[in-house]
Amino acid sequence: MAFSYKPLWHLLLEKDLTKTQMREEIGLSPATLAKMGKGEYVSMEVLDKICSHFKVQPNQVIEWKE
């Protein structure tokens, strides 16, 4: 089982934000952003912060891939 952050990257394009800008606005660490860039797992707390910041559902941040 694997997850992708591709929906989040599309959301950032729609909002005209860079990954670094998002990281700074939400207060994520550079290490967390690096993990996301590699498609690695992050905590539910991180996903909650992202969803709360953009006021979106989790499926607009992550997607499940086989």
CA pair distance 50, 55, nearest whole angstrom: 8
- pLDDT of amino acid 54: 97
The domain 2-65 having CATH identifier 1.10.260.40: the answer here is yes
pTM: 0.90
Mean pLDDT to the nearest integer, 2-12: 94
- pLDDT of amino acid 1: 54
Structure tokens at 15: 């909002």
- pLDDT of amino acid 21: 96
Contact 27, 45 (CB under 8 A): no
Q: For 14-66, write each residue's pLDDT tens digit.
A: 999 999 999 999 999 999 999 999 989 999 999 999 999 999 999 999 999 88
Domain boundary assignment for the chain? 2-65
Angle at the Cα of 43 from the Cα atoms of 40 and 45, rounded to 5 degrees: 145
Q: What are all long-range contacts of 19-22, with beta carbons under 8 Å and residues at least 24 apart?
A: 22/50, 22/53
